[in-house]
Homo-oligomer: A and B are copies of this chain.
Amino acid sequence: MTDLERQGAAAKKAAVAMALATTEQKNKALLAIADALEARQDEWLAANKEDYEAAKAGGMNSSMLDRLLLTPERVAGVAEGVRQAAALPDPIGVVTKEFTRPNGMKIQQRRVPLGVIGMIFESRPNVAVDAAVLCLKAGNACILRGGKETIRSNICSEGIMRKALESARLPADAVSLIHDTSRETAKELMHLEEYIDILIPRGGAGLIRSVTKEASVPVIRTGEGICHVYVDSEADIPMAAKIAWNAKVSRPSTCNAIEGVVLHESIADAFWKEALPLLAEKNVEIRGDGPTCSLLGERAKAAAPEDWDTEFNDFILTSKVVGSAQEAIDFINEHGTQHSECIVTENPETAELFLNSVDTAAVYWNVSTRFTDGFEFGLGAEIGISTQKLHARGPMGLEELTSWKYVVTGDGQIR
C-alpha cells in the first residue's frame, strides 16, 4: 500500500462514520473548527507568513501573493463562513421521494452522502477550509490536495480541523491533506477509484482540463467561464450597455464575468454609443470582428481567431456582430464554455428561444451573468460552479455533494 492508498482507506472508513453522524455532531464539529481557527489564528498566520515569504523570494507576482496572504480579517471571514455552513439545513437523511407500490412495499428515496470527495486546488489558503466544511456538512469525508505554495498554511488548518472533528467525536480522518505536493501524488489521487468517489478540481482552466483528461475517478468540471452578453435587435440599449459593463468590469478575474458581447447588427452602433463611455473608465480593450472594427475604428482592434475561445480574466472584451438571434445562439454554443450566457431583449419570444437553445448551466434574460454564484443563488454556500451536465450543473451547494439510496420496506414481498 502506498501512503496515499493508506490515506484513502482511512478516509473511506471515516466516511462510513460521517454518513451516520447526526446533524448535531456535524454542526458541533463545524463550530469547533470555526472557534479553533480563531483561537489558533496566530499559528495559522505564522505558517502562512512562511508560505508568503517563500513565494515572494521565489518571485511570485503581487496579485498571486495577495491571493496567498492570510490576514486576521480574512481568518475572521473564513470562520464566519464555517459558522454559516453549520447554520445551513442538513441535506442528509431527507426523504426526496416516497411511494407505495401495489404489492404494499414502501419505497423511499433518501439523500445520502457521496462518500469520499477529493479536492484539488491552487493557491488560496481559505479553500482547504471552505471546501472541507461543506464536504463534512454533507456527511462526506474529504482528501485535500492544495498547491505547494500554501502547504504550510494548509498543514496548519488541516491539524486544526482534525482536532475539532475529534472534539465532536467524529473521526479525524474525515479531513486529510496530502502533504507531498509533487505531481506524482496528484496523479495518483486521480486514479484512486477504490477510495475516492468524486474529484472536484478548483482553479484555472489548465488545472481543470488536465484533471478531466487524466482522472479515472469521476470528475466534476468546474469554473471555466467564457461567457457572453447577446444584445438583441429589440434590446433596451441603456440596460444592455449597463449589463455588459457590469458583467465585464465588476470583477474580470471571476468565471462568471463575460469575455465577449454579441451584437445584433441593427443595434451595434447604438450599443457602442452607450457602452464605450462606461468601458472607457477601466480602459477596456475591445477585440472585434470586421463589422465591429468598422464601427469603432481605432477604439477596437481586430480579434485573432483564438480570442473567441480565450478566457481573458482581464479588461479585454471581444465583440461579434450577427444578423439574427439564431446566429448569436450558434456562435455562443460554439465558443461558450456552458457556464453563463445572457440575452438582453424586450421580446419575450426571442428571449424564450435563447433561453431554451443556448446550452449552458445558467442563462440570463436582462440580468448580468455575474450572479452565477452559490451565495447569489441563495444556496448558502458553494463548492464550485459545474459546467458539465452530469450530476450537478451550475453553482454546487450542499445538495450537489450528495447521492441517494432507495430504502424499500415490506412484510415479506417476493417477486
A355 close to B (CB within 8 Å): yes
- Chain A window 322-345, contacts with chain B (Cβ cutoff 8 Å), 1 for yes, 0 for no: 000000000001000000000000
Render A8-22 as a binary contact track against B, CB cut-off 8 A, 1 for contact: 000000001001100
User: Does A161 belong to the interface (CB within 8 Å)?
Assistant: no
Task: Kindly state whether residue A107 has any CB partner on chain B within 8 Å.
Answer: yes
Report Cα–Cα, A386/B394, bound state, in Å.
Answer: 23
Q: Which one, B19, B242, B372, B407, contacts A412 given CB within 8 A? A: B242
Partner-binding segment picked from A69-77, A305-313, A356-364: A356-364
Chain B CB within 8 A of A366 CB = yes
Across the interface, which residues of B come within 8 angstroms of A197, CB to CB? 389-390
The 8 A CB mask of A344-359 against B (1 = contact, 0 = none) is: 0000000100011101
Contact with B along A119-148 (1 / 0, CB 8 A): 000000000000000000000000000000
Find chain B residues with CB under 8 A from A368 CB: 413-415
A367 within 8 A of B: yes
The docked-state distance in angstroms from the alpha carbon of A99 to that of B379 is: 11
Which of A47-55, A269-277, A398-406 binds B?
Answer: A398-406
A19, A372, A376, A412 — most chain B CB neighbours (10 Å) = A412
Chain B residues contacting A183 (CB-CB under 8 Å) are none
Interface contact B371-A405, CB-CB below 8 Å: no
Q: Which of A363, A393, A394, A415 has the most CB of B within 10 A?
A: A415
Contact B390 A198 (CB under 8 A): yes
Q: Which residue of B246, B389, B403 contacts A115 across the interface (Cβ within 8 Å)?
A: B389
- Whether A363 contacts B239 by the Cβ 8 Å rule is no
A390 touches B114 (CB 8 A): yes
How many Å lie between the Cα of A357 and that of B410 in the bound state?
A: 19
Q: Is the CB of A376 within 8 A of B415?
A: yes
Measured CB to CB, the closest approach of chain B to A314, in angstroms, equals 19
Nearest residue, chain B, Cβ from A333: B16
The answer to whether B362 touches A406 (Cβ under 8 A) is: yes
Q: Which of B213, B242, B403, B415 contacts A390 (CB 8 A)?
A: B403
In this assembly, does A290 line the interface, its C-beta being within 8 Å of a C-beta of chain B? no
Contact B371 A105 (CB under 8 A): yes
CB-nearest residue of chain B to A348? B409
Given that A376-B101, A390-B218 are contacting pairs, would A367 and B409 also be in contact in the complex, using a CB cutoff of 8 Å? yes
Contact status A364-B414, CB under 8 Å: no
Interface: A167 (CB within 8 A): no
Determine the distance from Cα of A40 to Cα of B257 in the docked complex, in whole angstroms. Answer: 54
A378 within 8 A of B: yes
Instruction: Report B-chain residues with C-beta under 8 Å of the C-beta of A20.
Output: 356-357
Determine the residue in chain B with the shortest Cβ distance to A362.
Answer: B406
Q: How far apart are A240's CB and chain B's nearest CB, in angstroms? A: 9
Q: Which residue of B lies closest to A377 (CB)?
A: B107
Contacts of A99 in B (CB 8 A): 378
Q: Within 8 Å of chain B (Cβ to Cβ): is A236?
A: yes
Contact yes or no, B360 A405, CB < 8 A: yes
Q: Which residues of B contact A376 (CB under 8 A)?
A: 101, 415
5 residue pairs, one from A and one from B, having the closest CB atoms: A246-B414, A389-B403, A367-B410, A391-B391, A370-B415
List 16 interface pairs A-B (beta carbons < 8 Å), by A numbering: A115-B389, A197-B389, A198-B390, A246-B414, A363-B407, A364-B409, A365-B409, A366-B411, A367-B408, A368-B413, A370-B414, A370-B415, A377-B406, A393-B403, A393-B406, A394-B405
Known: A213-B216, A362-B407. 20 other contacts (CB 8 A): A101-B376, A101-B378, A107-B377, A115-B389, A197-B389, A198-B390, A218-B218, A242-B414, A360-B405, A363-B408, A365-B407, A365-B410, A366-B409, A367-B413, A371-B413, A393-B403, A393-B404, A393-B406, A394-B404, A394-B405
